[in-house]
Protein backbone atom coordinates (compact mmCIF):
# COMPACT_ATOMS: atom_id res chain seq x y z
CA UNK A 1 0.00 0.00 0.00
CA UNK A 2 1.22 3.52 -0.87
CA UNK A 3 2.22 5.45 2.34
CA UNK A 4 0.20 8.61 3.07
CA UNK A 5 2.20 11.82 2.75
CA UNK A 6 2.08 13.68 6.12
CA UNK A 7 3.13 16.94 4.43
CA UNK A 8 1.06 19.36 2.41
CA UNK A 9 2.68 22.01 0.24
CA UNK A 10 1.47 25.02 -1.65
CA UNK A 11 -1.46 26.26 0.43
CA UNK A 12 -2.37 27.28 3.96
CA UNK A 13 -2.22 24.22 6.25
CA UNK A 14 -4.75 23.22 8.89
CA UNK A 15 -5.09 20.06 10.96
CA UNK A 16 -3.91 17.34 10.43
CA UNK A 17 -1.06 18.89 8.43
CA UNK A 18 -0.39 21.80 10.80
CA UNK A 19 2.48 20.89 13.15
CA UNK A 20 4.35 22.48 16.05
CA UNK A 21 4.40 26.30 16.48
CA UNK A 22 3.30 25.71 20.09
CA UNK A 23 5.24 28.63 21.58
CA UNK A 24 4.25 30.94 18.72
CA UNK A 25 0.57 30.07 19.15
CA UNK A 26 0.70 30.94 22.85
CA UNK A 27 2.55 34.20 22.14
CA UNK A 28 0.01 35.22 19.50
CA UNK A 29 -2.95 34.42 21.76
CA UNK A 30 -1.44 36.66 24.42
CA UNK A 31 -1.10 39.60 22.03
CA UNK A 32 -4.59 39.10 20.57
CA UNK A 33 -6.18 39.11 24.00
CA UNK A 34 -4.62 42.53 24.65
CA UNK A 35 -5.47 45.80 22.92
CA UNK A 36 -2.32 45.64 20.81
CA UNK A 37 -1.91 45.11 17.10
CA UNK A 38 0.12 42.19 15.84
CA UNK A 39 2.30 42.16 12.76
CA UNK A 40 4.04 38.93 11.74
CA UNK A 41 7.01 39.32 9.42
CA UNK A 42 9.05 36.49 7.89
CA UNK A 43 10.50 35.40 4.57
CA UNK A 44 8.01 33.89 2.09
CA UNK A 45 6.42 30.53 2.88
CA UNK A 46 7.51 30.34 6.54
CA UNK A 47 3.94 29.69 7.72
CA UNK A 48 2.59 33.13 8.77
CA UNK A 49 -0.90 32.70 7.31
CA UNK A 50 -1.30 29.11 8.56
CA UNK A 51 -0.21 30.18 12.04
CA UNK A 52 -2.52 33.20 12.42
CA UNK A 53 -5.53 31.33 10.96
CA UNK A 54 -4.92 28.41 13.31
CA UNK A 55 -4.81 30.67 16.38
CA UNK A 56 -7.85 32.76 15.45
CA UNK A 57 -9.94 29.68 14.61
CA UNK A 58 -9.20 28.28 18.07
CA UNK A 59 -10.58 31.47 19.66
CA UNK A 60 -14.01 31.20 18.01
CA UNK A 61 -14.12 34.87 17.13
CA UNK A 62 -14.88 36.49 13.79
CA UNK A 63 -12.04 36.85 11.35
CA UNK A 64 -11.89 39.22 8.41
CA UNK A 65 -9.14 37.98 6.13
CA UNK A 66 -7.92 39.85 3.09
CA UNK A 67 -5.06 38.79 0.81
CA UNK A 68 -3.52 42.07 -0.35
CA UNK A 69 -1.85 40.41 -3.31
CA UNK A 70 -5.27 40.22 -4.97
CA UNK A 71 -6.05 43.93 -4.48
CA UNK A 72 -5.87 46.14 -7.57
CA UNK A 73 -6.27 49.67 -6.10
CA UNK A 74 -7.58 51.67 -3.11
CA UNK A 75 -11.14 51.48 -4.37
CA UNK A 76 -10.90 47.70 -4.57
CA UNK A 77 -9.24 47.58 -1.11
CA UNK A 78 -12.15 49.45 0.52
CA UNK A 79 -14.75 47.35 -1.34
CA UNK A 80 -13.15 44.05 -0.37
CA UNK A 81 -12.99 45.03 3.31
CA UNK A 82 -16.64 46.06 3.31
CA UNK A 83 -17.62 42.83 1.54
CA UNK A 84 -15.90 40.81 4.24
CA UNK A 85 -17.51 42.81 7.04
CA UNK A 86 -20.85 41.84 5.48
CA UNK A 87 -19.88 38.18 5.61
CA UNK A 88 -19.44 38.43 9.37
CA UNK A 89 -22.22 40.85 10.35
CA UNK A 90 -25.83 40.98 9.17
CA UNK A 91 -26.99 43.90 7.04
CA UNK A 92 -29.27 45.20 9.82
CA UNK A 93 -26.35 45.69 12.17
CA UNK A 94 -24.33 47.62 9.58
CA UNK A 95 -27.13 49.78 8.20
CA UNK A 96 -26.75 52.44 10.89
CA UNK A 97 -23.00 52.69 10.31
CA UNK A 98 -23.41 52.98 6.55
CA UNK A 99 -25.62 56.05 6.92
CA UNK A 100 -22.52 57.92 8.06
CA UNK A 101 -20.50 56.98 4.98
CA UNK A 102 -19.47 60.04 2.98
CA UNK A 103 -18.82 57.86 -0.08
CA UNK A 104 -21.93 55.77 -0.62
CA UNK A 105 -21.21 52.17 -1.58
CA UNK A 106 -23.26 50.28 -4.13
CA UNK A 107 -24.24 46.95 -2.56
CA UNK A 108 -25.76 44.04 -4.48
CA UNK A 109 -26.98 40.88 -2.82
CA UNK A 110 -26.88 37.67 -4.83
CA UNK A 111 -29.98 35.84 -3.51
CA UNK A 112 -28.70 32.45 -4.69
CA UNK A 113 -25.37 32.54 -2.90
CA UNK A 114 -26.28 35.14 -0.25
CA UNK A 115 -22.95 36.73 -1.19
CA UNK A 116 -22.71 40.53 -1.24
CA UNK A 117 -20.94 42.49 -3.99
CA UNK A 118 -19.68 45.93 -2.99
CA UNK A 119 -18.34 48.72 -5.19
CA UNK A 120 -17.61 52.44 -4.99
CA UNK A 121 -17.64 54.92 -7.86
CA UNK A 122 -14.22 54.95 -9.52
CA UNK A 123 -13.79 58.71 -8.98
CA UNK A 124 -14.44 58.45 -5.19
CA UNK A 125 -12.19 60.43 -2.87
CA UNK A 126 -9.66 57.84 -1.66
CA UNK A 127 -9.00 59.46 1.70
CA UNK A 128 -12.70 59.65 2.60
CA UNK A 129 -13.24 56.13 1.33
CA UNK A 130 -10.51 54.65 3.52
CA UNK A 131 -11.56 56.71 6.55
CA UNK A 132 -15.17 55.53 6.22
CA UNK A 133 -14.24 51.88 5.87
CA UNK A 134 -11.71 51.94 8.72
CA UNK A 135 -14.24 53.74 10.94
CA UNK A 136 -16.71 50.98 10.18
CA UNK A 137 -14.12 48.37 11.11
CA UNK A 138 -13.41 50.19 14.35
CA UNK A 139 -17.07 50.44 15.32
CA UNK A 140 -18.50 47.16 14.10
CA UNK A 141 -15.51 44.93 14.69
CA UNK A 142 -14.18 46.53 17.85
CA UNK A 143 -12.49 43.94 20.05
CA UNK A 144 -12.54 41.42 17.19
CA UNK A 145 -9.77 40.62 14.76
CA UNK A 146 -9.07 41.60 11.25
CA UNK A 147 -6.08 40.41 9.46
CA UNK A 148 -4.30 40.93 6.18
CA UNK A 149 -1.78 38.39 5.01
N1 LIG B 1 2.66 24.69 11.04
C2 LIG B 1 2.95 24.08 9.87
N3 LIG B 1 3.03 22.72 9.81
C4 LIG B 1 3.33 22.11 8.64
N5 LIG B 1 3.57 22.76 7.48
C6 LIG B 1 3.50 24.11 7.48
C7 LIG B 1 3.18 24.83 8.67
N8 LIG B 1 3.18 26.15 8.39
C9 LIG B 1 3.47 26.24 7.08
N10 LIG B 1 3.67 25.02 6.52
C11 LIG B 1 4.08 24.75 5.12
O12 LIG B 1 4.55 25.98 4.56
C13 LIG B 1 3.74 26.38 3.43
C14 LIG B 1 3.54 27.88 3.50
O15 LIG B 1 2.66 28.21 4.56
P16 LIG B 1 1.88 29.61 4.62
O17 LIG B 1 1.18 29.85 3.34
O18 LIG B 1 1.10 29.60 5.87
O19 LIG B 1 3.14 30.58 4.75
P20 LIG B 1 3.21 32.16 4.58
O21 LIG B 1 4.39 32.61 5.41
O22 LIG B 1 1.91 32.79 4.89
O23 LIG B 1 3.54 32.27 3.03
P24 LIG B 1 3.51 33.61 2.13
O25 LIG B 1 4.79 34.35 2.45
O26 LIG B 1 3.49 33.07 0.72
O27 LIG B 1 2.26 34.40 2.49
C28 LIG B 1 2.47 25.54 3.52
O29 LIG B 1 1.94 25.25 2.24
C30 LIG B 1 2.95 24.28 4.21
O31 LIG B 1 3.51 23.38 3.27
MG1 LIG C 1 0.66 34.14 3.75
Same domain? For 16 and 45 the reply is yes
pLDDT given for residue 22 in this prediction:
97
The verdict on 49 and 79 lying in the same domain is no
> What pLDDT is stored for residue 148 in this prediction?
55
Q: Are residues 45 and 77 in the same domain?
A: no
35 and 90 share one domain: no
pTM: 0.82
**Calpha distance 32→50 (Å, rounded):** 16
Tell me: do 21 and 53 sit in the same domain: yes
Tell me what pLDDT residue 116 has.
Answer: 85
Shared-domain flag, residues 20 and 81:
no
What pLDDT sits at residue 115? 83
Co-location of 47 and 75 in the same domain = no
**Strand partners for 106:** 119
Is pLDDT of 137 > 90?
Answer: no
Whether residue 114 sits in one domain with residue 51: no
Which of the four pLDDT bands, split at 50, 70 and 90, describes residue 141? low
Pair (7, 51) in one structural domain: yes
Q: Residue 141 has what DSSP assignment?
A: S
Of 45, 49, 52, 56, which is best to mutate to test ligand 1, by the most ligand atoms within 8 angstroms of its C-beta? 45
Task: Give me ligand 2 centre to Cα 53, in Å.
Answer: 10
Q: Read off the pLDDT of residues 73-86 as tens digits, 9 standing for 90 and up.
A: 999 999 999 999 88
User: Is residue 144 over pLDDT 60?
Assistant: no
Angle at 55 between CA 52 and CA 58, to 5 degrees: 145
Atom of ligand 1 nearest to the CA of 50: 18
What does the pLDDT read at residue 30? 94
CA torsion angle 104 108 109 115 (round to 10): -90
Residue 96 has pLDDT above 90, yes or no: no
Find the domain containing 31 and state its range.
1-60
Residues 40 and 56 in one domain: yes
pLDDT digits (tens, 9 = 90+) for 25-53: 999 999 998 888 899 999 999 999 999 99
For the chain, how many structural domains are there in total? 2
Q: 148: which residues sit within 8 A by CB, 6+ positions away?
A: 65, 66, 67, 68
Q: Are 92 and 85 in contact (CB under 8 A)?
A: no
Please compute the mean of the pLDDT values over residues 114-141 and round it to a whole number. Answer: 87
Domain co-membership, 32 together with 7: yes
Amino acid sequence: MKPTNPFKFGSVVQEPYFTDRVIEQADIKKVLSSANHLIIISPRRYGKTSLIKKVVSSLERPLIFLDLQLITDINDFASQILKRVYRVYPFERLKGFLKNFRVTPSINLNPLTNEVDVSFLSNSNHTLLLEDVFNLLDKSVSCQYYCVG
